[in-house]
Amino acid sequence: MKKPATRKTKPAKSQELNPDAPRCGLCGKKGKLVRTECCGQWICDDEDNYVLFSYARNSCHRNHRRYTLCGFHHGEGHPGDWQTCPKCRESFPAEIYVSYGTNEYNFVTLENPPTYEPTHCGACGVVIKLSDGGYSQGPKGILCEKCTRKVFPISKLD
């Protein structure tokens, strides 16, 4: 008895022609890639996907440039390696420094990141993740979103 023919799927033309084509070092995709200015790694050339003021994290290139010590270090023109740069260390609270050095947007992560105490809302005491945003800072200290809204209520337009 003959086996029924199975349908074979072909790889994409670009993969078929060059299976060793570079991949994005963050998401693994092939295709429209560029090397980072900071560390020379292959990364998606996708900053055009970002919608201004959306705060979306849908761009490998933008995420590495904006949310890593590597991208910050290069953008500020600091000398030497970002991993041992005292200027980078002094530029952020420890919590953000650790996040920017260890998050998923890095090609290389910070070894032995410093420890830090979590940040608490100055009004209600809830823990705030500084690297995620959603807080305000002013004369009453750092406030969570909920307490910020109490201090600065959003008025409805008439």
Q: What tens-digit pLDDT sequence spans the chain (158 residues)?
A: 444 444 333 344 444 467 788 999 999 999 899 999 999 999 999 988 888 887 778 899 999 999 999 999 999 999 999 999 999 999 999 999 999 999 999 999 999 999 999 999 999 999 999 988 889 998 879 999 999 999 888 766 54
64's CB contacts (< 8 A; 6+ apart) are 26, 36, 38, 41, 43, 70, 71, 105, 106, 107
pTM higher than 0.85:
no
